[in-house]
Amino acid sequence: MPEPVPGAAGVRRAATPTLVPMPRTSIGPDPVGRDVIHVLLDAATAMPWAEDEIDRRLVQWAADAVEATVTIEPATADTHGPDALSVPLLDERVLLARRETGSQGFSDLDRRLLVALAAMATTSARHAQRDARLRRRALTDDLTGLWSHGIFPDLLATASRRREDGEQLGVLFLDLDRFKQINEELGHLDADAVLREVARRLLAALPPDSVVGRVGGDEFACVVRRLDGEDGLTETRTRLRRTVNQPIPVGDRLLSVDVSIGGVVSVSSEEDPDALLRAAEEAMRAAKRGREDVAPPRWYDEKTLVRDLLDQGGVGIALQPMVLLGSGRVVGYEALVRADHGDLGTVSPLLLVGSASRTQMLDELTEVVAAQAVETVAAIARDSQTPQWLCLNVEFEQLVPGSALVPALAAAVAGTDVRLVLEISEREIGRWTGAHDAVARDLDQAGIGLAVDDFGGGHATFALLHSWPWRWVKIDQALVSARDDDSSRVLLGHVVTMLRDLGLTAVAEGVESTDQRDLLRSLGVPLAQGTLFAAPTTAALVRDAAATQRHAAPPDL
């Protein structure tokens, strides 16, 4: 059978079949004048179809079988009319056959032929998915999901071959210090959980195109693209060590482990991948031998950790401005918690908030953050002679009737030009009940607004949008940053239109480029924040920057 034209919108039956013609066959009561047996035989013999050929083969064989123009369309396409016949496929698509208006309509035989071919395509797709899962399992570590020791050198070699001209790679080797002691103290189940958490952190700390593998019981290796020489290698080592050092929750305690890291810079694709990996491992062992501060695993009680941070001034803030997209003027700031522990160093906000929640100290932590943020933003509002918003992130569990947090926050902003707004992640608002209406009214009476954060981040439910008259709805960075994808741009536009139609103000978060800014402007998004305007930074630096920034009073939302 002749090959179809790649990329063609539709394919018609080839005039000359490749197989020796067989007697024309009819299936069922509908007499036909086409080689349907040949078509089905070709399709069945080729099963399972290659993954990257499924759509092309389906269109070709369907066109041959029913003598029509055949395409694959979204499920929303117009498939009605006597000259059209459609069969559903996977992924909300349909196989659509059309004939010229006025020609013979489709028969039940045509429908059964398309159904049979669509079933073959579905079976082939599922077979390909299963094969992909099996290949992945064969090449990855069962415990962590990272690449396995066996495949890692090949992936390193591939990354080296595919590098751009002049591109340098970083090859790093990591070994968790005294992990045998952790195994003995925790047992294998909890120790395995520690390894999974370390793997997750490595993936999160490195660029998406990095290669991360588990190459031993407590050993990991990484390949980092587009490295800035030895300085970049040093920065990456420092970042990874800080990431791994962060306390790991184990039961009701926190465990801090240390890690030894070695690395080498690869400047040429001619370098042997195995030699690079060995050199990185040797650098790790040299680093371990040269360190005098290889500490044993350290345990911390969550409550003591949070208490020490609160009492000893270890909790601080970073502030990021929110701007009017039309003018670029600053109308407020979001306060983000930061923490630094004398022994542990920087403590991640996620860990701190989780520990404070589990130890019933979340309200106290919020009050400490609010006090510092209000002091800074009130000074900016006073100097600029314009009221300013202050956004605080709170957990849903804090919005309970009778909470002491509401009067405490109201007292913090009393007598200032700070307009306080509490932001709640969309993933929690689905639990909103009538009791929360009462808390929201108390906040409203105190002049404190409520807003939805992270909308579109994967937990959205439209019911939450009319739970309360939200001050604004922050569109998650995942939607904002997917601007190069046509479907994502369409989705973003629909979200903005829906919010506008509901009378809700959209705020775009995570804006990082002028392209994103321009797209958001064209969609009519009024407010935004992100590194394009300013990254989160310390209160002192925000005060200094505010002296030269243009401010505007918050719009009446």
* Cβ neighbours around 557 below 10 Å, total: 18
Q: Which of 38, 13, 14, 11 is nearest to 27 (CA)?
A: 38
Alpha carbon distance 370, 378 (integer Å): 11
Cα-based distances in Å from 147 to 158, 169, 175, 202, 293: 14, 18, 16, 12, 30
Q: How many helices (H) and strands (E) does the chain have?
A: 18, 20
Are the C-beta atoms of residues 398 and 353 closer than 8 Å to each other? no
Cβ-contact 376, 319 below 8 angstroms: yes
Q: Tens digit of pLDDT for each residue in 505-537?
A: 999 999 999 999 999 999 999 999 999 999 999
Q: Is residue 93 classed as helix, strand or coil in its secondary structure?
A: strand
The distance between the two most distant Cα atoms of the chain, rounded to a whole number of Å, is 94
Contact residues for 93 (Cβ-Cβ < 8 A; gap 6+): 72, 73, 74, 75
Beta-carbon contacts of 377 under 8 Å, excluding residues fewer than 6 positions away, are 319, 332, 333, 335, 388, 390, 418
Please write down the long-range contacts of 427-430, taking CB distance under 8 Å and 24 or more positions apart. Answer: 427/454, 427/457, 427/458, 427/459, 428/395, 428/396, 429/396, 429/461, 429/464, 429/467, 430/459, 430/461, 430/463, 430/464
Per-residue model confidence as pLDDT tens for the chain (557 residues) = 444 333 333 443 444 343 333 343 444 444 444 578 888 888 999 999 999 999 999 999 999 999 999 999 988 777 777 788 999 998 889 999 999 877 788 888 899 999 999 999 999 999 888 888 777 777 889 899 999 998 999 999 999 999 999 999 999 999 999 898 888 888 888 899 999 999 999 999 999 999 999 999 999 999 999 999 999 999 999 999 999 988 898 877 888 889 999 999 999 999 999 999 999 999 999 998 877 666 778 888 889 999 999 999 999 999 999 999 999 999 999 999 999 988 788 888 988 999 999 999 999 999 999 999 999 999 999 999 999 999 999 988 888 888 889 899 999 999 999 999 999 887 777 677 777 788 888 888 888 999 989 887 665 566 677 777 888 999 988 888 865 567 778 888 988 999 999 889 999 999 999 999 999 999 999 999 999 999 999 999 999 999 999 998 887 65
For 165-184, what is each residue's pLDDT tens digit? 999 999 999 999 989 888 88
Query: In 3D, which of 17, 114, 103 has the Cα closest to residue 71?
Result: 114
> CB-based contacts of 213: which residues, under 8 Å, 6+ apart?
141, 146, 147, 148, 149, 151, 152, 155, 220, 221, 222
Residues with Cβ within 8 Å of residue 54, at least 6 apart in sequence: 121, 124, 125, 128
pTM for the predicted model, two decimal places: 0.66
